[in-house]
Structure 1
Amino acid sequence: MPTEREYIGIANRFYSIAGFPRVVGAVDCTHIKINSPGGSNSELFRNRKGYFSLNVQVVCDSNLVIRNIIARWPGSVHDSTIFNDSPLCAQFERGDFGAMVLVGDSGYPCRPYLLTPLLNPRTHAEEAYNNAQIKTRNPIERLFGILKRRFPCLQVGMGLKLKNVPPVIVACAVLHNIALSQNDAVLEEDTDNITEESVDQPISIQSNQNFIVRTTLINTHFSF
């Protein structure tokens, strides 16, 4: 993840997308197809789409650089479970990233450090917030398309033993970052045939305390 010295630059680049402040990363999960691992736990790897997969959590910045990746959870596991169990969640809970926040889709719970869209916006300010939030988290969707275009094994699946799949996924992430550093980009239009579809239901059970930062942001920054 970014160092404290990098916060302002990253937040400014995210802000330039749609005026959403203090964002240090966009988070989402994507499914990587695998063969059935067999055994009594094999069905844990079958996702809601009906195929076997690993559910991989990724955080990227606005330049599509991968800042954090977790590639070990079965396809049936909910995105929010992966985040809640991650070291990244513990870091945000401790306040390691100060006032910086992540943006995610409605598959995640809204928290002071993880801002999600409103399911039923009712005011102009809420609609403005939702529009900005969706545009600001767009880099993670673009990243998944580019990553799977760059490394087709992430799109079509891997016939490797289960224990060998996570290292390959992480290696692809590292190579992607190296390619970006060398200006070896994949053209955006080449990713049009690769789409990301959420397989998780929206999170709706949340405490009022988790909404405070989002509500304050809506009332102060998007109310005009």
Structure 2
Amino acid sequence: MGVHRTTVGEVVTAVSDALARLLDHFVTFPTDGQIAKVKQKFFLLGDMPNTIVVIDCTHVHIQAPRQREWEYVNRKGRHSINVQLVGDADLAITNCVVRWPGSVHDARIFRESRLFTEFQTNRPDGVILADSAYPLLPWVMTPFPTANTPSQMRHNNAHGRTRSMPNNTGLYCATQYRCPSQSPPL
């Protein structure tokens, strides 16, 4: 392209900063007035009652940083940022955290997020649907590690159906961003 690497870095930084400033205008959590409708949509997706959002983390690959490189190595041995995405039944991202190195576990990212603090102190009327990497809490619903009874199997099946579409969409979006020096994406 004929553009110096420094210029590209400056442009990427400027665009990233601008997007970060606009984030709160586009990434919003369901309001109290919207929660009943969101719960109904999630229930129609997979029969899981009381769900207001789903949560998961995904790794976005990066080039190895020069400082504290080891912190960015994920469990698959690749350098990444571990990004927490929270979404609603309409596939809209309602919350995201993009600041943790790839070595950080999903549950820690969640525990240290504003979303966790907000739910811990002001429990909304509903639950976050999460995979087994997350803690089971009164407001976080995870699957049974081993489904031993028919009701546990039904729970896990409904849990999986309800999480599948928003989760897969979020992961799909994240895989579209690739580190220029790495191929294929994620």
Range class of TM-score, shorter chain: 0.7 to 0.9
Match of 2:128 in 1: 102
Structure 2: gaps of 5 or more residues: 1-28
TM-score, structure 1 as length reference: 0.66
User: Is residue 76 from structure 1 mapped to residue 103 from structure 2 by the alignment?
Assistant: yes
Alignment of 1:185-196 (within 5 A): none
User: Is residue 143 from structure 1 mapped to residue 165 from structure 2 by the alignment?
Assistant: no
Alignment of 1:25-36 (within 5 A): 25-36=53-64
User: Is residue 157 from structure 1 mapped to residue 179 from structure 2 by the alignment?
Assistant: yes
Alignment of 1:143-222 (within 5 A): 143-148=169-174, 152=176, 154=177, 156-157=178-179
Identity %: 32
User: Is residue 16 from structure 1 mapped to residue 44 from structure 2 by the alignment?
Assistant: yes
SS at match of 2:144: coil
Deviation at 1:145, TM superposition (A): 4.2
Q: Deviations over 1:84-141 (max 9, x none)?
A: 00000011111242x2100010010111111000111111000000000111111332
Deviation at 1:35, TM superposition (A): 0.7
**In angstroms, what is the RMSD of aligned CA positions?**
1.9
Deviation at 1:194, TM superposition (A): 8.2
User: 2:141 pairs with 94, 115, 122, which one?
Assistant: 115
SS at match of 2:35: helix
TM-score, structure 2 as length reference: 0.79
User: 1:4 pairs with 9, 32, 41, which one?
Assistant: 32
Structure 1: gaps of 5 or more residues: 160-192, 196-224
Number of residues of Structure 1 aligned to a counterpart in Structure 2: 156
What is the CA–CA distance in structure 1 between the aligned matches of 2:60 and 2:180, rounded to whole Å?
8
What is the CA–CA distance in structure 1 between the aligned matches of 2:58 and 2:50, rounded to whole Å?
24
What is the CA–CA distance in structure 1 between the aligned matches of 2:136 and 2:110, rounded to whole Å?
12
Q: Taking structure 1 as reference, are residues 194 and 78 closer, same or farther at Cα in structure 2, changes over 3 Å only?
A: same
Q: Is the 8 A contact 1:33 1:158 kept in 2?
A: no
Match of 1:89 in 2: 116
